[in-house]
Structure 1
Amino acid sequence: MTPTDATPPIRLLLCDDHAVVRAGLLALLSSTAGIEVVGEAGSGEEALAMAARVRPDVVLMDLQLGDGMDGVEAIRRLASGAGSAPEQPAPRVLVLTMFDTDADIARAIEAGATGYLLKAERPEELFAAIRNAAAGRTALSAPVADRLMAQMRTPRPALSERERDILQQLARGLGNREIARALFISEATVKTHLGRIYGKLGVDTRAGAVAVATERRLLG
């Protein structure tokens, strides 16, 4: 729907740890009909506190926020209504990021993001995504939608019992040698299993594997 004078503007909160990016978005969005930027935040913690005060309809959220709470945790808390008054609906959260790995997309959407947009998008795509998010509709960049469709067509195989055991040890912060000792296997075997785990979870780091496993409740 095209915004009119009778339609209240969409209240938007920006969250990005780069001040220059926030300034650019503010300049771009402030002149856009039907969208009102009601606040800026440079961290997940600040976004939660500010959302409780300014009551945005949509939060435009980066995933990488430097030290402290990351974007995914902020999404989870915002989407659950954390910090909102009982009568206040939880804001929609629209991811705006440079990162489009399968793991990043899955974590954000599982945390409650309404949409996932890449910073390479044209301004018109961003405006449309904000309006769709405010209306409760899913908003995805074309490359992100393609990735999700590919995942649905070729779902990743389930983790084996041994791979789950190794993930449990990873979550405890153990190194390969310690995992090998704990599970009575060789370090080479641990490395082989880790490679398979990374492939199944769509990650390439130990921290990424633990993060995705936690999101998918694979560690319980």
Structure 2
Amino acid sequence: MIRVAVVDDEPLVRTGLRVILNSADDLTVVVDCTGAGAVELVRTRRVDVVLLDVRMPVVDGPSVLRELKRLPDPPVVAMLTTFDSDDYVDTALRSGAAGYLMKNSTPEHLIQAVRTLADGGQVLAPEAAKRVIAGYLAAGRDDGAARRVRALSERERQVLGLLGTGLSNRGIAERLHLAHGTVKDHVSSVLAKLGGLNRVQAAVVADRANLPAARSDLR
């Protein structure tokens, strides 16, 4: 089971998300709470994926996210919000969020997004994805990660190319006909060699480096 936490200041929203997520056989909501006290609850309940509202009174989403990322074994976090401004997207991703979803997502999309997050993938609402790619490329950001692409092995460049398409580890494994654990090792190696980037940042590097979606014929 994928253990999920829903952190939102509105009880009605939390209830609705709990009903939607618990309707899937492989998901269970083990925490629903506001921002205050969320970090301790997530830590003690061994949560896999956190859906975290951005705007909350007392303790807002970015503050909770930063605290969660300091945990010894942090969960995967996606921001779930009605706001899609550049500032919110940028703040969330720079703070370590693996996804950014809008609250008008369909139940089916939300369930699949949680599965993707749990499997190491990243999820971005279309509104957010356009801004992330455009913003990073327009700013010409280059902290050395793009140059490090050339130092990757051919297999690692394949994996990075598929990261750029948003595939989860399982999806990459299926595309390359590799074991799931092998792909996890490759992804970890790629992110480390790119300077400790997260998956979303690595996807931007793949886009900038013009890496194609990997072929499955390399053994």
Name the TM-score, length of structure 1 as normaliser: 0.61
For residue 10 of structure 2, what is the aligned residue in structure 1?
Answer: 18
Does the alignment pair 1:93 with 2:77?
yes
List 4+ stretches of structure 1 deviating above 4 A: none
Q: Which runs of 5+ in 1 are unaligned?
A: 1-8, 158-220
Identity over aligned pairs, percent = 35
What amino acid does structure 1 have at the position aligned with 2:74?
A
1:63-116 CA deviation, whole Å, 9 max, x = no partner?
0111x22100101110221xxxx5xx2101111100111110010111111100
What amino acid does structure 2 have at the position aligned with 1:24?
G
Does the alignment pair 1:49 with 2:26?
no
Question: Which structure exhibits the higher relative contact order, with contacts defined as CA atoms closer than 8 Å and separated by 6 or more residues?
Answer: 2
What is the CA-CA distance between 1:25 and the residue it aligns to? 0.7
What amino acid does structure 2 have at the position aligned with 1:11?
R
Task: For 1:49 and 1:80, locate their aligned partners in 2 and report how far apart those are by CA, in whole Å.
Answer: 12
For residue 135 of structure 1, what is the aligned residue in structure 2?
Answer: 119
Could you say if the C-alpha distance between residues 103 and 156 of structure 1 is closer, same or farther in structure 2, counting changes exceeding 3 Å?
Answer: farther
1:40 to 28, 32, 57: 32
SS at match of 1:154: helix
For residue 28 of structure 1, what is the aligned residue in structure 2?
Answer: 20
For residue 171 of structure 1, what is the aligned residue in structure 2?
Answer: none
Name the TM-score, length of structure 2 as normaliser: 0.61
Structure with max Cα Rg: 1
Does the alignment pair 1:118 with 2:118?
no
Mean CA deviation greater in 28-37 or 16-25: 28-37
Task: For 1:128 and 1:49, locate their aligned partners in 2 and report how far apart those are by CA, in whole Å.
Answer: 26
1:1-48 CA deviation, whole Å, 9 max, x = no partner?
xxxxxxxx10001100000000111111111121011111112x3211
Aligned pairs, number: 141
Contact 1:73 1:111 in 2 (8 A): no
Task: For 1:154 and 1:105, locate their aligned partners in 2 and report how far apart those are by CA, in whole Å.
Answer: 16
Q: Which runs of 5+ in 2 are unaligned?
A: 142-219
1:71 to 43, 49, 61: 61
Could you say if the C-alpha distance between residues 120 and 156 of structure 1 is closer, same or farther in structure 2, counting changes exceeding 3 Å?
Answer: farther
What is the CA-CA distance between 1:156 and the residue it aligns to? 8.2
Contact 1:129 1:140 in 2 (8 A): no
Task: For 1:90 and 1:109, locate their aligned partners in 2 and report how far apart those are by CA, in whole Å.
Answer: 15
Task: For 1:46 and 1:38, locate their aligned partners in 2 and report how far apart those are by CA, in whole Å.
Answer: 14
SS at match of 2:84: coil
1:113-132 CA deviation, whole Å, 9 max, x = no partner?
11000111111211111111
What amino acid does structure 2 have at the position aligned with 1:94?
A
For residue 147 of structure 2, what is the aligned residue in structure 1?
Answer: none
